[in-house]
Amino acid sequence: MQSIPRTESAPTLAEVARHAGVSTATASRVLNRSARVSAEVAARVERAAHDLAYVRRRAPSTRDTGVLAVVVFADPLQYHVDAFHVRLLAGLRRALPGADRELAVFTVPRRSRRPPLVRYLCGGHADGVLLVGPWGDVALARLLHAARMPVVSLGRPPEPGVVAFVDADNLGGARDAVQRLCASGRRSIATVAGPPDTAVGADRLAGYLQAVRQHRPAARPAVAYGDFTCASGEHAMHRLLDQRPDLDAVFVASDQMAAGVLRALRRRGLRVPEDVAVIGFDDAPVAARSRPGLTTVRQPVEELGACAIELLLQGPAVGESVVLPTRLVPRASG
């Protein structure tokens, strides 16, 4: 391994992983001694940590409950059926240091107020809180910060500087997807966007708009909104086809919505990708099961969980952020 120049800022777990040539989740498992990896991989990670002068920090806290709270902003049914949450929970558990910590998971529907939950989280029953979900909750983050509770958001919060966060490069991933559609010769490219009042919805829409304006400056963007469910994707696609019957491609801000888009296209008698190319986002299991297989943007869910755990345990600074890259996964749909 080559010598690594040291920087003035404290090195991060993601930098250690990058220099060792492994995923962030693997680096976390090596440094936490939380799972077995090969001796060769462990040596690379430990060498990278040494060369970078990486030191794991612990949150300054008198708490030692052994519990990390995970607050998921989603309806309970959605939480149990959404593959994102299944993958995330698996990544979080693998990243926990040793066997001396547990996860306490709470689901909170949108616009729900839960005074008992707030009292629990601020009452010294957990060592840190991970906030998960597109809706977020800035008020809860502020309450936790005032209670000196370490808190990290999985996903960019709607307001900057309120809480530390870990996120995927939603804007860049969306831009890559639309650039692929442009490069394949598609001329009229629409998008089914996520809710505009969420950071993930706004970022993926911004990536679509950037790519369209760069590669199709004369084209008029076409946007319909969904709520990340299959049904909303189907309804949004029908609206787009009514407005733009000549469209020949669509970027969809989630694979669940893309499944609905494919259903709408079949009902309209349109072929994928011959008539309309489709690209989704997430690389959820539904993407591989779709017919045709869904081209999509993969976000590293397990690594996001590992980074969030590491940031939570080291004592996050307000506004600190880690953004992990995404990757385009080509299949038959676009």
For the chain, give the secondary structure using H, E and C: CCCCCCCCCCCCHHHHHHHHCCCHHHHHHHHHCCCCCCHHHHHHHHHHHHHCCCCCCCCCCCCCCCEEEEEECCCHHHHHHCHHHHHHHHHHHHHCCCCCCEEEEEECCCCCCCHHHHHHHHCCCCCEEEEECCCCCHHHHHHHHHCCCCEEEECCCCCCCCCEEEEECHHHHHHHHHHHHHHCCCCCEEEEECCCCCHHHHHHHHHHHHHHHHHCCCCCCEEEECCCCHHHHHHHHHHHHHHCCCCCEEEECCHHHHHHHHHHHHHCCCCCCCCCEEECCECCHHHHHCCCCCEEEECCHHHHHHHHHHHHHHCCCCCCEEEECCEEECCCCC
Q: What's the pLDDT tens digit per position in 46-104?
A: 888 878 877 665 554 446 788 899 998 887 777 777 788 888 988 888 888 665 778 89
Q: How confident is the model at residue 7 (pLDDT cuts 50, 70, 90)?
A: very low
68 forms beta bridges with 103, 128
pLDDT for position 334:
92
pLDDT level of residue 203 (50, 70, 90 thresholds): very high
Predicted confidence band of residue 233 (pLDDT cuts 50, 70, 90): very high
Per-residue pLDDT at 332 exceeds 80? yes
